Amino acid sequence: MGGLAAVAALPTVDIHDVELCAAGTWNGRLYTIEEFDEAAKTWCELAGTYDVPLKLGHDDDQRLVQADGYPAIGWVANVRRSGLKLLGDYLKVPARLAAVIKAGGLPKRSCEFWLDTEFAGKKRPFMLKAVALLGADAPAVEGLEDVYSLYNSRTDTARTLAGAARTTVTMLAAGVYKTEGGKQFHVSDYAYTPDDGDPGTWKLRITKTPGGAPDAGMVGAAVAAFGKGFRGQKASIATADRAAVKSRLRGAWTKANPDKSEDAMPTAIKNARRPARTLRLASGPSVDDIQSAVEDALA
């Protein structure tokens, strides 16, 4: 006979201690450690009643996404908070897909939360709905359709929770970050990041809050450190990188000071205006003389 009964047992593995997301501001919303504590508590209370699915989505170019965006390929368990992070374990992940995850083939992830839902007569203000693995290069794993058949069941519990929820929010997991003043800042918060994977190399922060817009005060301090120095400290920047950092600071300054003209821009990041030069050649110039004169005129 055919059907699932005839399908051989699928080799699966567990992946422990996964960082799901970190507290901070994402897409204009502040996610707090108190909410993470609530998510962990709710998972404990509903374990076995609602199993948090691990799924593939939501990248537009990803090939392994079903129409409803909900192909479960495992479960998220042991949800807990550690410091500013929400952690969990991936359980019963198909071994071949787990190998792809560990190799970095699905480098990003996002968490989906239900806000203000209700189940079993109790309010659930912040509940982990699902964790999605993201990556445009997800492989066409042979036999994955069978995995969907085995795992992907939207239970009555899920429908009840979804129907009761005020809204659903999605939060990208934090990658590498740098802690300053108790806040976790990301690579985009700095003007100089010679190594995106090493926060120790990041300099010239231009935002006050993680992921925020450039702040006039922070940008001003960064420009000073880039130029003559801020409070006696001048940022050490590789010569080859200075032009790119200057451009980044110019853009940040413009965004942070929309009411100011370019004339008010600090000298350290202002583009120099050179007077026009007239090209004059002596009679009978050599090829080298012509080349030098042209380069001088265009400089």
Which pLDDT does position 107 carry in this prediction? Answer: 63
Q: 53 φ, ψ to 5°?
A: -80, 145
193-213 mean pLDDT: 82
Q: What is the mean pLDDT of residues 285-293?
A: 52
The answer to whether 264 touches 257, Cβ cutoff 8 Å, is: yes
Confidence check: pLDDT of 136 > 50: no
Which residue is it, tokens 């839902």?
117
Residue, of 243 and 120, whose pLDDT is higher: 243
- How does pLDDT run across 89-103, given as a tens digit for each residue? 999 888 877 877 776
Q: pTM to 2 decimals?
A: 0.51
Query: CA-CA distance, 170 to 109, in Å (whole number)?
Result: 10
Among 78-87, 237-246, 285-294, which range has the highest average pLDDT? 78-87
Which pLDDT belongs to residue 112? Answer: 86
Cα 61 from Cα 174, distance rounded (Å): 21
Give the SS3 label for residue 192. Answer: strand
Q: What is the pLDDT of residue 259?
A: 92
Q: Dump pLDDT digits (tens) for 24-73.
A: 877 667 889 999 999 999 999 999 888 898 887 643 333 443 433 445 67
Provide mean pLDDT across the span 168-197: 75
pLDDT on residue 155:
54
